Amino acid sequence: MKVINQTVSIEEFDDKSYRLRIYGELEEKAVLTHYLHNYRNGIKKHYEKDAISTLNKFVEYKQIDQELSIVAEDALQQLLFEVENVPFPTPENYTFKFIDLFAGIGGFRLALQNVGGKCVFTSEWNNEAQKTYRANFGEVPFGDITKDRNKNYIPEQFDILCAGFPCQAFSIAGYQKGFADTRGTLFFDIEQIVEKHKPKVVFLENVKNLVSHDKGNTFKTIIETLEIKHKYKVFYKVLNSATHANVPQNRERIFIVAFDPKKVKNYHKFEFPKPIKLEKTIHDILEKEKQDDIFYYNKDHQYYPILAKTMISKDTVYQWRRVYARENKSNLCPTLTANMGSGGHNVPLIKDDFGIRKLTPLECFAFQGYPIDKYIIPKLANSKLYMQAGNSVTTTLIERIAKQIIKVL
């Protein structure tokens, strides 16, 4: 047999010949990384049975199909090192536990870890977002949370449920179809988890338009579901990243924080964070050096004459609106959107010393509050990275709200 030499990796669980040997619908990488991520605390027991089964199958595959000499303990130690050697590991002395639903690239997780939280379950269905999430937190999220098999992996006890649940159904840009109750929406899956686990706190984020969607009926249904059906005490407020997070992006979002009054006696003391002075400007985020040519508009581009005529200032971020460029008069970055990388609409543009260009994905992540000196942005198509940034929360704003929640807890 060949001798293995530090070749075991989580990525190998995608090997086609390996996957053909595995039966059932177990999400191997998710359950194994959740187990390894909790290997040094009691939560590992929740994932242990399926994780050990997965690990043994993997070792058997390596021994037989690839003729590699390896034992489960060696594989375990190598994989453990891989999931722990990441930019944002779990705090050693955590004070509360949370779950991260519709996790995206980890905006909620980054914020709550920063205030002493430990994530015990993660769910995100998008494969590219899963890759970014794992690169930074060492964990592969479980997939579709509408599936009972994934809900069943949620540990029985945790303190805070976090969810920036998808907003397409509520966005001004969407079809704005109303609903009579929560069935048929992803909020219904959140409600099921709330009903089963009764967390101390439910912490939700969505687009501002959720409040007015369907003449207010959608938002009313969500609030009444939490307040009347599940007896939570609910607080909500629209906050802007520019006024509440010291981030120069004009991004208004609705935040909902709900407390179980039986478990959180001081719930009435909760307050959303106050506005703070915006000290950062777009120039604290924009790269000063010349960027890759792919981000610049060539002079022979059909819209270059329009852009050149409109975009005369280097002190603002413009936004391409299908056939014209609009200046953001407040000198802020306009709201980043999920479709800004697909071209044609809502594309943020700047004029720098080298020409007219789009924001880079790195700049978009920075405009969402990510610490780009540490945060890993994997090699994915730029369109995917733009989508990840546009779908994300402003993590520094989430952190300020989380601090207020922790004061009450």
Q: How far apart are CA 343 and CA 22, in angstroms?
A: 40
Read off the pLDDT of residues 286-311 as tens digits, 9 standing for 90 and up. 999 999 999 999 999 999 999 999 99
Same domain, residue pair 262 and 301: no
Same domain, residue pair 265 and 303: no
Asked whether residue 41 is assigned to any structural domain, the reply reads yes
Per-residue pLDDT of the chain (409 residues; tens, 9 = 90+): 344 445 678 888 887 777 766 655 568 899 999 999 999 888 999 999 999 998 888 888 877 766 666 778 888 898 999 999 999 998 888 999 999 999 999 999 999 999 999 999 999 999 999 999 999 999 999 999 999 999 999 999 999 999 998 755 554 444 444 444 454 578 989 999 999 999 999 999 999 988 888 788 889 889 999 999 999 999 999 999 999 999 999 999 999 999 999 999 999 999 999 999 999 999 999 999 999 999 999 999 999 999 999 999 999 999 988 778 888 888 899 999 988 876 667 889 999 999 999 999 999 999 999 999 999 999 999 999 999 999 999 999 999 999 999 999 9
Residue 278's closest CA among 251, 252, 246, 250? 246
Same domain, residue pair 174 and 30: no
Same domain, residue pair 103 and 57: no
Same domain, residue pair 204 and 305: no
Residue 18 in tokens: 């390996």
Q: Given this model, what pLDDT does residue 343 score?
A: 64
Same domain, residue pair 239 and 306: no
| End-to-end Cα separation, the chain, in angstroms | 56
Residue 42 in tokens: 């009691």
Q: One-letter amino acid identity for 51? A: A
| Domain final residue pick, 84, 104, 138 | 84
Q: Are 238 and 211 in contact (CB under 8 A)?
A: yes
Active site residues: 167
Q: Given this model, what pLDDT does residue 385 score?
A: 96
Residue 138's closest CA among 8, 9, 6? 9
Cα–chain-centroid distance for residue 161? 14
What's the domain count of the chain?
A: 3
Q: Given this model, what pLDDT does residue 25 score?
A: 55
Q: What is the pTM of this model?
A: 0.92
Residue 334 in tokens: 């306009």
| Domain final residue pick, 84, 109, 137 | 84
Burial of 35 (0-12, 13-18, 19+ CB in 10 A): buried
Residue 298 structural domain = 288-359
Same domain, residue pair 57 and 157: no
Same domain, residue pair 257 and 164: yes
Same domain, residue pair 158 and 76: no
Same domain, residue pair 314 and 338: yes
Half-sphere exposure of 242 (CA within 13 A, CB side): 14
Same domain, residue pair 112 and 227: yes
